Structure 1
Amino acid sequence: MIATTPVYSLASQVAKKFKEIFSVDDALVVRSPGRVNLIGEHTDYNNGFVLPAAIDKAIFMAIDRRSDEEVHLFAMDYDQSYRGPVKPLTPSALHWPNYILGVVEQLQQMGHSVGGFNCVFAGDLPLGAGLSSSAALESATAFALNQLFGLGLDTMTMVRIAQKAENEFVGLQCGIMDMFASMFGRKDQVIRLDCQSLDYTYFPFQTNGLRILLLDTKVEHSLASSEYNIRRQQCEAGVKLVQKHHPHVKSLRDVTAGMLADIVGPADELIYKRCSFVVEENARVLAGTEDLQRGDVAAFGQKMYASHEGLSRKYEVSCPESDWLVEQVSREEGVLGARQMGGGFGGCTINLVKADVIDGLTAKIAPLYRKAMNRELKWYIGQIENGTSVV
């Protein structure tokens, strides 16, 4: 199992490194968490519903102003530096600076004055595990720059800035969920977010004796960016087919299963599969929150299994390793639900597991996974925590 670095230990390490590099004692230190999404995958960019929560693994950022118009960055996890002007901004070949620079660009486009700054960051979010380390970094940057330069931005505006940074500067057409969960997270609660209206409702998630267990396939989702954008295009193609008969339809949020069967199915079997998954997944989120309100976590868990089946067979964003893990845990006592989480093609499966079986489960699964997939299994026990804040 992976040990969690104590929050204030990692925050102090970042502050110490900042002082070491820039000779400044009192840098602003911000914590911005990663997220899990219990159910509702690939629904966000289709104006649907999602059910995320912020977790106790995060990006920590130390930041302070410079007297010139330069940006100096240091990524502790990569042991790499970046230097460049605040204007004009150009994407970096290192890639990781682009998550920060993209936020600066969005602020500039809104007319905000952002001067030069120094920044050091590190995280205990495992990279490539589908816990949205990129959204956490963008959210940390938006929050920190708002504080540092007194921009007066509200939380939702910062969420939108972080999303647009990823869409326009990084080039991944992600939805708003990851940044929203990172910013709006609340301890021991999940958030049902309507990605069309951005209305949201908190639901208590204090299921006694249960834990969120993340099983990391250790498969880097190298296909995720390109295939993610393709899935988005396929959903848009389905909407266009429906619009020919129902002009009021704006997104898959407005589409019913009947519309898909009558219009999209006969026209394009692949587009039908993609779109039907999204429509069904939206329904699962709404029904799943009713389960949580009733305290019926077992029924909620069954919807997680159904979600994975759709992700694997209809949306085709799973991978053999994730399929194997979900199938394996489904046979074990004490596991209520499991599915692929995140963009897909690797990363983690999210599992609702009784706390007293976790040690035995992981001890059993790890060697079987190594034998079946020739990979080492890692796992993380997630706790639901508050969103982005000053440390």
Structure 2
Amino acid sequence: MLAQNAAAFFQRRYGYTPLLVRAPGRVNLIGEHTDYNGGFVLPAAIDREIVFAVGLNGLNTIRLYSLDKDEAYDQPLGDGPVQPGQTLWANYLKGVVAQFQQRGVVVPGFDCMFGGNIPMGAGLSSSAAVECGLAFALDHLLHTNLSRLELARISQRAEHEFAGVQCGIMDQFAGLFGQADQVVRLDCRSLEYQYFPFDSAAYHLVLCNSGVKHSLASSEYNTRRQECEEGVAQLHRHYPEIKSLRDVTLPLLEAHRAELRPVVYRRCRYVVQENQRVAAACDYLVAGDMAAFGQQMYASHAGLRDDYAVSCPELDALVRIAESQPSVLGARMMGGGFGGCTINLIPAAAVAEFIATTTAAYQQQMGLSLETYQTTIVGGVSTLLPALASN
């Protein structure tokens, strides 16, 4: 339905048939704030998505249209590269264009209409979906034949330079490399990856949206990154081989605790332990021990709450409510923090009861209504129509 609506709207507005592309959101089962520290993550693409209708227009103008905002934005193409502007949603798309231009690609005028059902501010990587979807579409339309990894890098750099968020590559990687009924462990330093099967029929991932927009996430995200870099710089003085927290063990960190500011020590301790949790969680997946996997999720949330300090009262309440239900195997906050969703691992038969119980308890404890999303793990960014579109 999303694709049909986008195609019809595009046809009416611009008068020709577009290329259609779908770009999924993502969940991250475990491994939060480890990606920009050279560590491990375990994401999957999900069936919440943004659909793009894109075509070359033969003009010297990029015409963007957000279906969700019902807002248009035109960007004339001059002699120089595209620059950020005041319209924030357009910057994510313009950032992608700028990355193509930096690679020597001449980007002609095009039309891009997009909209979707990824909740904004819920930690499901709507921004990465916007970036990856357009990058994938332009690669098709301009015949640049870039690899999915290069498209992920383009999308990541767009967020760095045009949105001001120094994100790691996990979100973009998950959106482009997702496979149905698989989670992918990504080594964020080497970019090596391995798929692990996830039985979506037996176990469901239910997202609980706290209803709190993570307005602090961008600024605090950059602060956390700086704190981790401070810890690495201090340890690097003693051990030149240490390039990131990926290289640090808990005993080594403990040995130099007195040299670190207390807040920096806590940030580093969380990241080192979280990398260990990802490794353990993958072992449990292979062994089919989903209860043990869930315990790693609970431990992850405790670290995010206490050491990394990116949780909030609403997220903590949702995890406590989950822990109080014996059927729930694991739960934790997900995403940048300060709001957004918790991710909950639940046997399929217990999902309905979990949603009813959690919704009632959240209303009673926090006075807030609860949105929940049952997700299916799907494939990464793809075209929905094979034909290229141009005017």
TM tier relative to shorter chain:
over 0.9
Worse-matched range after superposition: 79-88 or 285-294: 79-88
Partner of 2:308: helix, strand, or coil? coil
Displacement of 1:207 in angstroms is 5.3
The equivalent of 1:5 in structure 2 is: none
1:119 aligns with 2:112: yes
Match of 2:276 among 283, 287, 300: 283
Distance 1:117 1:207 in 2: 39
Match of 2:55 among 60, 64, 69: 64
Tell me the amino acid that sits aligned with residue 233 of structure 1: Q
Superposition pairs of residues 201-350 of structure 1, within 5 angstroms: 201-206=194-199, 208-350=201-343
Does the Cα contact within 8 Å between 2:231 and 2:260 map onto a contact in 1? Answer: no
Does the Cα contact within 8 Å between 2:201 and 2:348 map onto a contact in 1? Answer: no
Displacement of 1:348 in angstroms is 0.3
Does the Cα contact within 8 Å between 1:136 and 1:179 map onto a contact in 2? Answer: yes
1:355 aligns with 2:352: no
Tell me the amino acid that sits aligned with residue 191 of structure 1: V
Post-superposition Cα deviations, 1:144-198, rounded to whole Å, max 9, x if no partner, equal 0000111111111101000000011111000000000000000000000000000
Displacement of 1:373 in angstroms is 1.7
Does the Cα contact within 8 Å between 2:132 and 2:381 map onto a contact in 1? Answer: yes
Displacement of 1:374 in angstroms is 2.3
Post-superposition Cα deviations, 1:323-372, rounded to whole Å, max 9, x if no partner, equal 00001111102100000000111000000012222222221221321232
Distance 1:389 1:368 in 2: 39
1:47 aligns with 2:35: no
Tell me the amino acid that sits aligned with residue 64 of structure 1: G
C-alpha RMSD of the superposition: 1.0
Distance 2:238 2:208 in 1: 44
Match of 1:13 among 5, 22, 28: 5
Does the Cα contact within 8 Å between 1:238 and 1:264 map onto a contact in 2? Answer: no
Superposition pairs of residues 364-383 of structure 1, within 5 angstroms: 364-383=357-376
Displacement of 1:264 in angstroms is 3.5
Distance 2:281 2:77 in 1: 45
Partner of 1:29: helix, strand, or coil? strand
Distance 1:326 1:154 in 2: 39
Partner of 1:126: helix, strand, or coil? coil
Distance 2:302 2:77 in 1: 46
Distance 1:265 1:257 in 2: 14
Displacement of 1:269 in angstroms is 1.0
Tell me the amino acid that sits aligned with residue 12 of structure 1: Q
Tell me the amino acid that sits aligned with residue 114 of structure 1: V
**Contiguous gaps of at least 5 residues in structure 1:** 1-8
Worse-matched range after superposition: 263-272 or 352-361: 263-272
Displacement of 1:90 in angstroms is 2.7
Post-superposition Cα deviations, 1:63-87, rounded to whole Å, max 9, x if no partner, equal 0001122110110111111001234
The equivalent of 1:6 in structure 2 is: none
The equivalent of 2:388 in structure 1 is: none
Tell me the amino acid that sits aligned with residue 358 of structure 2: I
Q: How many residues align?
A: 382
Displacement of 1:265 in angstroms is 4.1
Post-superposition Cα deviations, 1:265-295, rounded to whole Å, max 9, x if no partner, equal 4431110000000000000001110100000
Worse-matched range after superposition: 372-381 or 79-88: 79-88
Post-superposition Cα deviations, 1:102-140, rounded to whole Å, max 9, x if no partner, equal 000011001111101001001111111100000001000
Does the Cα contact within 8 Å between 1:242 and 1:264 map onto a contact in 2? Answer: no
Distance 2:13 2:361 in 1: 45
Displacement of 1:244 in angstroms is 1.1
Q: Percent identity?
A: 50
Partner of 2:326: helix, strand, or coil? coil
Distance 1:177 1:265 in 2: 32
Distance 2:293 2:364 in 1: 31
Partner of 1:375: helix, strand, or coil? coil
1:166 aligns with 2:154: no
Does the Cα contact within 8 Å between 1:70 and 1:84 map onto a contact in 2? Answer: yes
Worse-matched range after superposition: 373-382 or 352-361: 352-361
The equivalent of 2:122 in structure 1 is: 129
1:84 aligns with 2:75: yes
Tell me the amino acid that sits aligned with residue 84 of structure 1: Q
Distance 1:265 1:44 in 2: 26
Worse-matched range after superposition: 93-102 or 83-92: 83-92
Distance 1:282 1:114 in 2: 40
Q: Under a length normalisation based on structure 2, what TM-score does the superposition of the two structures give?
A: 0.96
Q: Under a length normalisation based on structure 1, what TM-score does the superposition of the two structures give?
A: 0.96
Does the Cα contact within 8 Å between 2:84 and 2:91 map onto a contact in 1? Answer: yes
